[in-house]
């Protein structure tokens, strides 16, 4: 789903899917799946508690769901859902994401969830997806034979903590970033909607000086 934005912005390389997806020269190299047995343990628990769920089994904008409850409850427009009667996640070799329909704080009662990375963007459901952006960044650096000090990461939210690591790159927190990111940042710039990235690049000396004729 991020490909359209990548192309619109004129980029050819991208780290996506919480760090587990890597695109180089416009081509997806690989997406690392989530641990299948741990996902299955979570879905089994959801089945026992009558909690609706969905799964992502390919690189598309469509999730698979076993019945109509997911759409009836969430009315989700972020992604498409395809009903597969009798859907059994065990029939798929790879599981990339899971979607669990429940209001906060029901997720805190799911024992299997403690073994998995997850995040909540919507009140109706939460995502079980990778949360290791440093993993993808390092794969891109290795592909190009670059060093960590050649990279700069920018972040503002909780899911960016996974790349504010001690790998060696420069960590820039936006002015509107959460406190936990600012504490780990090498540089705090202005808000994202106040030219934060541009101002950080300028302060880091990434622009050629402009000379007047």
Each residue of 103-124: pLDDT tens digit? 999 999 999 999 999 988 899 9
Q: At residue 212, does pLDDT exceed 80?
A: no
Q: Is residue 213 included in any domain, yes or no?
A: no
Residues 151 and 138 in one domain: no
Residues 204 and 161 in one domain: yes
Residues 155 and 103 in one domain: no
Q: Which residues contact 48 (CB under 8 A, 6 or more apart)?
A: none
Q: At residue 134, does pLDDT exceed 90?
A: yes
Nearest Cα residue to 52 out of 106, 111, 131 = 106
Among the candidates 128, 159, 194, a domain finishes at 128
Residues 101 and 176 in one domain: no
64 sits in which H/E element: strand 62-65
Residues 123 and 138 in one domain: no
Residues 25 and 41 in one domain: no
CA–CA separation, 119 and 122 (whole Å): 9
CA–CA separation, 87 and 75 (whole Å): 20
Residues 43 and 16 in one domain: no
Sign of CA dihedral 161, 162, 166, 167: negative
Q: At residue 209, does pLDDT exceed 80?
A: no
Average pLDDT over residues 115-136: 93
Would you say 110 and 135 are in contact if contact means Cβ atoms under 8 Å apart? no
pLDDT in tens, 33-86: 999 999 999 999 999 999 999 999 998 889 999 999 999 999 998 899 999 999
Would you say 130 and 18 are in contact if contact means Cβ atoms under 8 Å apart? yes
Residues 115 and 165 in one domain: no
> What integer pLDDT is reported at residue 211 of this predicted model?
63
Where does residue 209 fall: left (phi above 0), alpha (psi -120 to 50 degrees), or beta otherwise?
A: beta
CA-atom Rg of the chain in angstroms:
20
Domain count, the chain: 3
CA–CA separation, 78 and 128 (whole Å): 15
CA–CA separation, 43 and 25 (whole Å): 36
**The CATH number of the domain where 73 resides is what?**
3.30.1240.10
Residue 109: DSSP 8-state: G
Domain that holds residue 43: 36-128
> What integer pLDDT is reported at residue 210 of this predicted model?
62
């Amino acid at each position: 789903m991020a490909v359209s934005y990548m192309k619109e912005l004129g980029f050819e390389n991208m780290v996506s899917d919480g760090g587990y997806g890597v695109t180089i020269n416009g081509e997806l190299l690989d997406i690392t799946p989530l641990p299948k047995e741990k996902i299955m343990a979570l879905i089994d628990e959801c089945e026992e508690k009558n909690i609706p769920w969905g799964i992502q089994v390919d690189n598309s904008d469509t999730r698979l769901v076993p019945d109509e409850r997911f759409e009836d409850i969430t009315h989700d427009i972020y992604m498409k859902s395809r009903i597969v009667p009798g859907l059994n996640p065990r029939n798929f070799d790879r599981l990339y994401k899971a979607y669990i329909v429940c209001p906060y704080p029901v997720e805190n009662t799911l024992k299997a969830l403690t073994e998995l990375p997850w995040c909540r963007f919507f009140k109706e459901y939460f995502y079980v997806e990778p949360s290791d952006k440093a993993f993808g960044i390092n794969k891109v650096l290795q592909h190009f034979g670059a060093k960590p000090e050649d990279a700069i990461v920018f972040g503002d939210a909780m899911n960016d903590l996974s790349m504010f690591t001690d790998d060696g790159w420069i960590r820039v927190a936006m002015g509107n970033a959460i406190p936990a990111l600012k504490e780990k940042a090498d540089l705090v710039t202005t808000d994202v909607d106040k030219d934060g990235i541009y101002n950080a690049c300028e302060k880091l000396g990434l622009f050629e000086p402009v000379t007047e004729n």
